[in-house]
Copies of this chain bind each other. A is one copy, B any other.
Amino acid sequence: MKKLLNNTDDLLTDSLKGFARAHNDIVSFNVQPAFISRSSPATQAKVALVSGGGAGHEPLHAGMVGTGMLDAACPGHIFTSPTPDQMMAAAQAVDNGAGVLFIVKNYAGDVMNFEIAAEMLEGDSASVLVCDDVSLSAEHSTGRRGVAGTLIVEKLVGAAAEAGADLMACQALGERVNKATASIGVALTSCTVPALGKPTFDLAEDEMEFGVGIHGERGRETLPLKSASEIVADLADVIEAELNIKSGQQVLLHINGFGGTPLIELYAVYDLAAQYWQARGVEVIRSLVGNYTTSLDMAGCSMTITLMDDTLTTLWDAPVHTANLRW
């Protein structure tokens, strides 16, 4: 394993300390229990948005804390759920009377711990479960995983909360965005979890993992490595069938890198993807390209489509000022 770190136990805390130090105009780091919150809390009552999950997906979620998006994020150990006491502490720190909305990726540990935190929390709370990964069947026993679409939910609900939407409206919006969003990814390499010290799975030089997860788990199937155009078509076909996208539909297209793939490749994939949708009469009206929901150093990318309407477009365009997403 070749990584820039002192030891595997310290990597996450060192990283969070560095993150908070580099962006101390935007975020603060509470060391114990660990959470990142806005350094300038909202001045007027608003629904507090709290997300979190295992580390290793940076800049998700901590990089999305700031005006127009999250109020706090709870990082667990790498690929490990944060604990209920982290979530409780984060929620209490940012709740200013309008209630707390938990945005939770659909993994058993995250779901359970956020439920416990919500039960323990005095005051109103609600949650949105994100399950945008369409590489698994909708009937999968534990449901579909939450992946890169989580950022879309956080951005759109964050804008609504900032504009004064109440707790139930934020929850309903989050659920609507989740339903309108589908993602699927492909890996060219596995990631290497520091505590394990070697790639989680093996891929031959001519193989790729299709429908891969973001925790070093294998995907839907191992396939021969294809060209970028073929990969784009394979990913988009699954999304198209899932969302039943019609010509004339306006969409947001998000090409997300998994951490080890540089921008030169991601922008090329984006162009091919935009062409794919354009050829089907689908209008790509908003875009996001970059390494946002990563899986440590995994090479590869995912495609996310969100079906847009005027309301969602206005929310997407609303100002956002976080460490790693700004406009």
A residues touching B (Cβ–Cβ < 8 Å)?
A: 2-7, 10-12, 14-19, 21-22, 55-56, 58-59, 63, 188-189, 205, 208, 225, 227-229, 231, 259-272, 274, 287-289, 291, 294, 296-297, 299-301, 324, 326-327
Contact = CB atoms under 8 A, between A and B. Distances in A.
A231 B291 CA distance: 25
Contact of A261 (B272, B288, B297, B326): B297
Contact of A63 (B260, B263, B268, B288): B263
A264 B296 contact: yes
A267 B297 contact: no
A265 B299 contact: no
Contacts of A324: 263
A60 B229 CA distance: 25
Given A262-B291, A262-B294, A326-B326, A4 B271 contact: no
A268 B22 CA distance: 11
A4 B188 contact: yes
Contacts of A271: 14-15, 17-18, 21
Contacts of A58: 262-264, 267
12 contacts: A2-B188, A4-B300, A4-B301, A5-B268, A6-B227, A11-B265, A14-B272, A21-B287, A22-B287, A59-B263, A263-B324, A264-B296
Contacts of A288: 22
A228 B8 CA distance: 11
Contacts of A294: 262-263
B18 A270 contact: yes
Contacts of A11: 264-265, 268
B15 A265 contact: yes
Contacts of A6: 227-229, 268, 272
Contacts of A272: 6, 14, 18
